[in-house]
């Protein structure tokens, strides 16, 4: 009896130790794309709003590295990253936008309010392209090199500190 | 203003929990008749009122969609129907923790008002323990999960509620489980109180029993509701996935089932004292371990809770404090508590002890399977443990348990002979054997479902045998509760076995107008239409399904798209007959213009949930029976006192 009454406490202490150890381990919460290093999957999407041009895989194969920005007018972090996209555009980076599950009038309103950094804006009503390139949320930004190969993925909104990283990645992709 | 009012109420409630704890422990140390003891009960009652005010304020904020409150902005949306706005109040981490402490302090208030059976010192120890547990959760809520936090700038619009959660069944599934968890926390406080004053008596068991029963009924309902929700909402056609979060609700249920039975033994036979205390601690620790596992994010689960390692650490500290403290107290005190009355192996107690051990073994297996990935990840090996482990390994212990469950209620307390119940035993054995032979040889069913069917049929009949030779009108309500609950287990078991043995599945790509067949059903896709709801659009398949050439029924499975946040869900369509369910899901369009249909015919599948409901009903009957009996006992006691006073006055 005497040692057995201590057993639950020891087992529990073991569990606590294990759980505490696991909690201190860094946890990777980002869903990274498995498509890094692969060619862009085939797509050909219509424009997201009047007056814009749509986007297709072939647009990425002219030798110029581009940013592919997955966003939506209903997404709040996308508003937060708009100034950074604007700065990237001023730095001469061509940015292709893909609006996920959006309505043309909402896209137009968003661009009027927060600026339009895009050379092309396509609409992806079924998240087909989003899923095909391995993006699990909005916003996400991909660096695509001049041969249409996915080189880098940025998850979440682009903060000011991320701009140099993206510029460096674009340089590497040249 | 509303948010500040709620926040203030929360702080005051926390202060009262601290008072309840300190006053309670001081009163226990001071012994009978100390002044400070008078503070304990009132502080529990007022604390309950304050916590309710805080929760009411949160409901109000959600009802009016006050987007200056962070929690509302993150989880609600002005376009949502009111009922889902309200359920959004607890459909998130902060709100659900507030609901937890509210229910917990309401229970504390109720004990403080109504529980008069136990010695006053044990009551104070119990309420002090309850105060400690509440204080821990208040600290957690206020310091790391404040539901009333304001945004510096109000949000223009809310971020919506997960569309999968916009379902009435699910709006009430988490609160139901919480009631169960909280009921177990009360049982825990009783166990700690009894340990502190070393008064592990039948009275203690009778005081604790309604809470365990109540917790157990709510846990059962919560698990049944969650399982049915997963079945029709997720569109996978399954009802149990051994996912960590499901296990987190199953483990407290297993522990509570064992606790319930050992509490009954202690209340009526004054045996199993130490074991009951141990289970009281284990049952609550299982609900806390479950909470920790799903909230800390250290295990990967399909249930994507807002996980946060910081909150995980907080819960872990609370867990260590409460459970570690209780286990330490247990280790120090257990040897000073007498084991209680003795009994032989072939007795009601013997059967209950056997099944208690079996339940604990299943609990250990589920716990091991759930924690195993955590263990291997420490060595950088990622594994996931699933049905191939859980099903057969738990069956090893479930099979003997089911046999003893059929026999145990027929035995007498303390000492009995199996010869006395030979006809009942023979009937049970014959039913099981005949079913084994019939389903095994004639229909060729796999081993686990085969055992499930045979034992389910045997137990279904055996659960009514305790009524033999008794006047039905004089059978106590609690005994009816046991019979109904045991019968419910048999019914659910037959449902599970039948689902796994006889289900038919068909995956077909059909054009509008074409038919396909699954089991006895012929299903025709009439057309596919776009439809729209308040915050979603969908394509809807119109199916006409005819059972065995009979009158066709219409089914309309949908693939829904929500836009805030964007998410796709499949709405399965079900057609329920007395002998099973047709389950239909519509998938994508194939490039050549056909539609993917996924169809299942699941014979007797509904018995799983009907059985679960019967189990809960049995628990509820027993609870009502016990409470009525307690009231009657109190009335009689009061009358005796009055009578005595009268006689003395006359004398």
User: How do residues B336-359 score in pLDDT, each as one tens digit?
Assistant: 887 778 888 888 889 999 999 999
Query: Which residues of A lie inside 8 Å of B (Cβ-Cβ)?
Result: 1-2, 5-6, 8-9, 12-13, 15-16, 18-23, 25, 27, 29, 72, 74, 76, 100-101, 127, 138
Q: Minimal Cα–Cα distance from B260 to chain A, Å?
A: 20
Q: Average of pLDDT values for B442-450?
A: 86
CA distance B244 to chain A (A): 15
Question: How far apart are alpha carbons B65 and B73 in whole angstroms?
Answer: 8
Residue B160's pLDDT band, with cuts at 50, 70 and 90, is low
Confidence band of B388 (pLDDT split at 50, 70, 90): confident
Nearest chain B residue to A3, by CA: B331
Burial of A51 by CB count in 10 Å (0-12 exposed, 13-18 middle, 19+ buried)? Answer: exposed
Residue B473: the pLDDT is 85
* Cβ-based neighbour number of residue B625 at 10 Å: 18
B178's enclosing H/E stretch is: helix B173-197
Mean pLDDT, each 10-residue run in order, chain A (174 residues): 80 88 70 79 86 87 90 84 91 91 86 90 83 82 91 88 90 86
Q: Mean pLDDT score of chain B, rounded to an integer?
A: 87
Structure tokens at A3: 């040692």
pLDDT value of residue B230: 81
Q: Which of A5, A18, A29 sits opposite B331 (nearest CB)?
A: A5
A120: DSSP letter: E
Residue B535 has pLDDT above 80, yes or no: no
Of the candidates B155, B285, B335, the beta carbon closest to that of A2 is on B335
Query: Token pair of B328, please?
Result: 């330490």
**Per-residue pLDDT reduced to its tens digit, B624-639:** 999 998 889 889 988 9
Cα A66 to Cα A84, A146, B18, B88: the distances in Å are 15, 7, 60, 41
What does the block give as tokens for B129? Answer: 């323990």
Displacement of CA B115 from its chain's centroid (Å): 24
The helix-helix angle for B173-197 and B120-144 (nearest 10°) equals 130
- Identify residues of B whose CB sits under 8 angstroms from chain A CBs: 155, 159, 278, 281-282, 285, 289, 292, 296-298, 309, 312-313, 316, 319-320, 323-324, 327-328, 330-331, 334-335, 371, 374-375, 377-378, 561, 563-564, 566
pLDDT bracket for residue B416 (50, 70, 90): confident
Contact across the interface for A8 and B331, Cβ inside 8 Å: yes
Contact A127 B566 (CB under 8 A): yes
Facing B375 at nearest CB: one of A8, A18, A74: A18
B607 vs B380: which has the higher pLDDT: B607
Give the orientation angle of helix B2-30 with respect to helix B93-114, to 10 degrees.
40
> Are B324 and B389 contacting, i.e. CB atoms less than 8 angstroms apart?
no
Count of residues for chain B?
651
Tokens of residue B275, six digits? 């074991």
Res B301 pLDDT > 60: no
Rounded distance between C-alpha atoms, residue B359 and residue B279, angstroms? 11
Query: Which secondary structure element, helix H or strand E, spans residue B18, and what is its range?
Result: helix B2-30
Q: Which residues of A touch B316 (CB under 8 A)?
A: 16, 19-20, 23
Task: Kindly determine whether residue B566 and residue A23, on different chains, have CB atoms separated by under 8 Å.
Answer: no
Q: Note the Cα B410 to chain centre separation in Å.
A: 28
Say which of A5, A74, A138 has its CB closest to residue B335. Answer: A5
Burial class from Cβ neighbours inside 10 Å (0-12, 13-18, 19+) for residue B152 reads exposed
Average pLDDT of the residues in B174-180: 85
Q: For B119-139, give the DSSP string.
A: -HHHHHHHHHHHHHHHHHHHH
The confidence band for B402, taking pLDDT boundaries of 50, 70 and 90, is very high
* From B62-66, B255-259, B336-340, B520-524, the region with the lowest mean pLDDT: B336-340
| Chain A residues touching residue B281 (CB < 8 angstroms) | 8
- Measuring CA to CA, which residue among B333, B310, B329 is closest to residue B321? B329
Of A6, A21, A127, the CB nearest to B331: A6
B323, B324, B378: residue with CB nearest A22: B378
Percent of chain B with pLDDT over 70: 95
DSSP structure string for A37-89? TSBPPP-EE-BSSTT---EEGGGG-SS--EEEEEE-TT-HHHHHHHHHHHHHH
pLDDT of residue B304: 45
Distance from the B332 Cα atom to the nearest Cα atom in chain A, whole angstroms: 8
In Å, how far is B38's CA from the nearest CA of chain A? 34
Say how far apart CA B413 and CA B348 lie, in whole Å: 5
Query: Backbone dihedral region of B90: left (phi > 0), alpha (psi from -120 to 50 degrees) or beta?
Result: alpha
Q: Which of B298, B313, B328 sits opposite A9 (nearest CB)?
A: B328
Residue contact B335–A13, C-beta within 8 A = no
What is the arithmetic mean of pLDDT over B603-623?
94
Q: What angle do CA B504, B505, B510 make, to 5 degrees?
A: 130
CB contact under 8 A, B378 and A5: no
Task: Answer whether B194's CB lies under 8 Å from B200's CB.
Answer: yes
Of A159, A119, A120, A125, which is closest to residue A139 (Cα–Cα)?
Answer: A159
Closest Cα in chain A, distance from residue B309 (Å): 6
**Could you tell me which residue, A25 or B396, shows the higher pLDDT?**
B396
Q: Measured between alpha carbons, how far is residue B567 from residues A128, B162, B294, B560 in Å?
A: 13, 8, 22, 8
pLDDT of residue B644: 92
So what's the pLDDT on residue B251?
94
Out of A18, A29, A100, the one facing B374 most closely (by C-beta) is: A18
pTM of the model: 0.81
B327 CB neighbours in chain A (<8 A) are 8-9, 12
Beta bridge partners of residue B585, listed in sequence order: B598
Residue B552 has pLDDT above 90, yes or no: no
- The number of angstroms, rounded, from the C-alpha of B47 to the middle of its chain's C-alpha atoms is 26
Distance from CA of B334 to the nearest CA of A (A): 7
Mean pLDDT, rounded, for B83-101: 86
| Nearest CB to A101 within list B312, B375, B563 | B563
SS (H, E, C) B542-593: EEEEEECCCCCEEECCEEEEEECCEEEEEECEEEEECCEEEEEEEEEECCCC
Q: What residues of B are in contact with residue A72 (Cβ under 8 Å)?
A: 566
DSSP state of A157: P
Closest CA–CA distance from residue A109 to any residue of chain B (Å): 15
Average pLDDT over residues B481-498: 94
B298 to A16: CB separation less than 8 angstroms, yes or no: no
pLDDT in tens, B13-60: 999 999 999 999 998 888 777 788 888 899 999 999 999 999 999 999
Helical ranges in B234-347 per DSSP H: 244-269, 273-296, 309-319, 325-333
pLDDT at residue B303 is higher than 60: no
Q: Which two tokens stand for residue B14?
A: 């926390």
A19 to B323: CB separation less than 8 angstroms, yes or no: no
CA B263, chain centre distance (Å): 18
pLDDT at position A143:
93
Q: State the smallest CA–CA distance between residue B501 and chain A in angstroms.
A: 37
Nearest chain B residue (CA) to A7: B331
Least-confidence region, from B208-222, B370-384, B555-569: B555-569
What is the token pair recorded at B22?
């300190």
Query: What's the pLDDT score for residue B565?
Result: 60
Q: CB B327 to CB A2 under 8 A?
A: no
Nearest chain B CA: its distance from A171 CA (Å): 34
Closest-CA distance, B462 to chain A, in angstroms, reads 36
Q: What confidence tier does B493 reach under pLDDT thresholds 50, 70, 90? A: very high
What span, in angstroms and rounded, lies between the C-alpha atoms of B62 and B79? 12
Q: What percent of chain B shows pLDDT beyond 90?
A: 38
ipTM confidence score: 0.78
Residue of B188, B191, B290, B327 to mutate, testing the A interface (most A Cβ within 10 Å of its Cβ): B327
| CB B563 within 8 Å of CB B159 | no
> B278 and A23: CB-CB below 8 Å?
no
In this complex, how many residue pairs, one in chain A and one in chain B, have their CB atoms less than 8 Å apart? Answer: 69
CB atoms within 10 A of CB B443: 11
Q: Which residue of A has its CA nearest to B321?
A: A16
Comparing B379-388, B432-441, B488-497, the range with the smallest average pLDDT is: B379-388
Q: Are B252 and B222 in contact (CB under 8 A)?
A: no
Q: What is the C-alpha separation between B630 and B327, in angstroms, rounded?
A: 31
Among B296, B320, B325, B338, which would you mutate to test the A interface (most chain A Cβ atoms within 10 Å of its Cβ)? B320
d(CA B619, CA B625): 10
**Pairwise CA distance, residues B632 & B521, whole Å:** 55
Query: Which of B227, B183, B229, B182 minimizes the C-alpha distance to B208?
Result: B183
What are the Cα distances from residue A65, in Å, to A38, A160, B210, B469?
15, 21, 70, 88
State the Cα–Cα distance between residues B517 and B348, nearest whole angstrom.
51
B302 — pLDDT class (breaks 50, 70, 90): very low
The closest CB to that of B564, out of A8, A29, A74, belongs to A74
Are the CB atoms for A44 and A56 separated by under 8 Å? yes
């Amino acid at each position: 009896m005497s040692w057995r009454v201590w057993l639950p406490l020891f087992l529990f202490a073991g569990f606590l130790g294990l759980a505490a150890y696991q909690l201190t381990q860094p946890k990777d919460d980002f869903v990274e794309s498995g498509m890094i290093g692969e060619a862009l999957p085939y797509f050909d999407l219509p424009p997201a709003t009047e007056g814009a041009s749509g986007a297709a895989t072939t647009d990425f194969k002219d030798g110029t590295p581009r940013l592919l920005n997955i966003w939506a007018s209903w997404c709040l972090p996308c508003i937060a990253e708009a100034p950074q996209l604007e700065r990237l555009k001023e730095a001469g980076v061509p940015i292709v936008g893909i609006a996920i599950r959006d309505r043309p009038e909402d896209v137009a309103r968003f661009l009027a309010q927060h600026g339009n950094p895009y050379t092309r804006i396509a609409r992806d009503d079924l998240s087909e392209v989003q899923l095909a390139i391995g993006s699990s949320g909005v916003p996400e930004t991909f660096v695509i090199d001049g041969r249409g190969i996915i080189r880098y993925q940025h998850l979440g909104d682009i903060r000011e500190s991320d701009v140099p990283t993206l510029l460096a990645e674009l340089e590497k992709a040249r | 203003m509303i948010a500040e009012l709620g926040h203030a109420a929360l702080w005051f409630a926390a202060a009262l929990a601290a008072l309840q704890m300190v006053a309670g422990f001081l009163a226990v140390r001071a012994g009978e008749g100390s002044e400070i003891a008078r503070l304990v009960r009132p502080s529990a009652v007022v604390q309950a009122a304050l916590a309710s005010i805080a929760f009411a304020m949160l409901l109000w904020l959600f009802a009016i969609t006050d987007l200056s409150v962070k929690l509302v902005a993150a989880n609600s949306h002005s376009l949502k129907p009111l009922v889902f706005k309200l359920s959004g109040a607890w459909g998130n981490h902060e709100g659900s923790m507030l609901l937890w402490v509210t229910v917990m302090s309401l229970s504390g208030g109720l004990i403080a008002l109504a529980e008069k059976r136990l010695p006053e010192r044990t009551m104070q120890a119990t309420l002090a323990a309850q105060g400690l547990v509440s204080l821990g959760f208040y600290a957690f809520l206020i310091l790391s999960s404040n539901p009333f936090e304001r945004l510096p700038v109000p949000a223009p619009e809310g971020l919506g509620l997960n569309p999968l959660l916009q379902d009435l069944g699910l709006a009430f599934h988490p609160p139901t489980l919480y009631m169960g968890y909280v009921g177990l926390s009360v049982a825990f406080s009783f166990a700690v109180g009894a340990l502190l004053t070393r008064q592990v008596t039948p009275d203690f068991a009778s005081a604790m029993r309604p809470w365990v029963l109540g917790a157990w009924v709510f846990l059962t309902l919560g698990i049944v509701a969650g399982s049915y929700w997963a079945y029709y909402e997720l569109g996978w056609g399954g009802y149990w996935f051994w996912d960590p979060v499901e296990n987190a609700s199953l483990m407290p249920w297993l522990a509570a089932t064992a606790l319930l039975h050992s509490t009954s033994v202690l209340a009526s036979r004054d045996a199993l004292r130490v074991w009951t205390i141990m289970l009281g601690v284990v049952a609550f620790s299982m609900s806390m371990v479950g909470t920790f596992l799903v909230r800390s994010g250290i295990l990967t689960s399909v249930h994507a809770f807002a996980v946060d390692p910081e909150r995980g650490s907080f819960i872990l500290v609370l867990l260590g404090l409460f459970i570690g403290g209780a286990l330490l107290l247990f280790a120090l005190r257990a040897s000073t508590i007498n084991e209680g009355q003795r009994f032989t192996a072939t007795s009601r107690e013997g059967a209950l002890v056997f099944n208690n051990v079996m339940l604990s073994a299943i609990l250990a297996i589920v716990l091991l399977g759930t924690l195993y990935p955590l263990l291997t990840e420490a060595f950088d090996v990622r594994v996931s443990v699933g049905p191939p482990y859980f099903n057969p390994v738990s069956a090893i212990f479930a099979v003997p348990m089911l046999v003893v469950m059929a026999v145990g209620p027929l035995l007498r307390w303390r000492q009995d002979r199996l010869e006395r119940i030979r006809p009942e035993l023979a009937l049970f054995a014959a039913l099981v054997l005949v079913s084994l032979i019939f389903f095994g040889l004639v229909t060729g069913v796999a081993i686990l479902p085969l055992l499930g069917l045979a034992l389910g049929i045997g137990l279904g009949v055996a659960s009514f045998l305790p009524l033999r030779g008794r006047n039905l009108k004089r059978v106590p309500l609690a005994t009816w509760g046991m019979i109904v609950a045991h019968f419910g287990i048999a019914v659910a078991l037959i449902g599970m076995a039948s689902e796994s043995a006889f289900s038919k599945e068909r995956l077909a790509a059909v054009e509008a107008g074409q038919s396909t067949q699954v089991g006895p059903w012929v299903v025709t896709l009439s057309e596919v239409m776009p439809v729209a709801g308040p915050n979603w659009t969908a394509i809807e398949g119109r199916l006409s399904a005819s059972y065995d050439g009979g009158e066709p029924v219409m089914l309309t499975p949908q693939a829904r798209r929500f836009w805030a946040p964007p998410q796709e869900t499949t709405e399965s369509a079900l057609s329920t007959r007395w002998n099973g369910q047709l389950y239909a899901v519509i998938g994508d369009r194939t490039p050549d213009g056909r539609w993917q249909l996924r169809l299942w015919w699941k014979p007797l599948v509904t018995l799983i949930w009907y059985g679960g409901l019967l189990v809960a009903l049995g628990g509820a009957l027993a609870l009502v029976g016990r409470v009525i009996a307690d009231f009657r006992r109190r009335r009689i006691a009061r009358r005796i006192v009055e009578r005595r006073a009268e006689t003395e006055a006359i004398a």
